[in-house]
Amino acid sequence: MTCALKNLQTRLDILNDIVTAQNVLAEMELADHPVAAALLERDRIKTILMAAADAYDDLIATKQFCR
């Protein structure tokens, strides 16, 4: 369960970083800066979301050891 939880947390952390970067860049009026696309990883968001969904499924499928 620890590994499944760690995988999910890692993917959620990445998504959180992207959203935070979007907000910070927008507040600083830098969203259209040429480097912004690299920071926001727009081309990877779908892949990261799918990986997070898979990690969530793995976590849910993990047998519980306590109730």
pLDDT in tens, 22-65: 899 999 999 888 888 777 777 788 899 999 999 999 999 987 76
Which among 2, 12, 4, 9 is positioned nearest to 48, based on CA atoms?
A: 12
- Work out the pLDDT band at 67, boundaries 50, 70, 90: low
pLDDT the model gives residue 29: 93
Residues 11 and 55: beta-carbon distance below 8 Å: yes
Q: Render pLDDT for 31-42 as a digit per residue (tens, 0 to 9).
A: 888 888 777 777
pTM over 0.85: no
Judge whether 11 and 56 are in contact, CB under 8 Å: no
5: Cα within 13 Å, side-chain hemisphere: 4
